Amino acid sequence: MAYEKDYRKRILNFYYGNGKTKTLLQFGINSDTLYGWIKLKRETRK
């Protein structure tokens, strides 16, 4: 659980650093969806 929180925080920080958080939030994507989506992207990229 602690790992997941840290992972999610790092993802959000990454998106914030790239100026995309605002755009994502406008589309109503919460951190849970973001976490799942990125996890899926990472798994399918292998």
What pLDDT, on a 0 to 100 scale, did the predictor assign at position 38?
Answer: 78
Query: What's the confidence (pLDDT) of residue 18?
Result: 62
Q: Show the 3-state SS of the chain.
A: CHHHHHHHHHHHHHHHHCCCHHHHHHCCCCHHHHHHHHHHHHHHHC
Tens digit of each residue's pLDDT, the chain (46 residues): 577 778 778 777 776 666 655 665 556 656 667 777 777 778 777 6
Residue 16's pLDDT is 65
State the pLDDT at residue 40: 76
Q: Domain coordinates of the chain in residue numbers?
A: 2-45
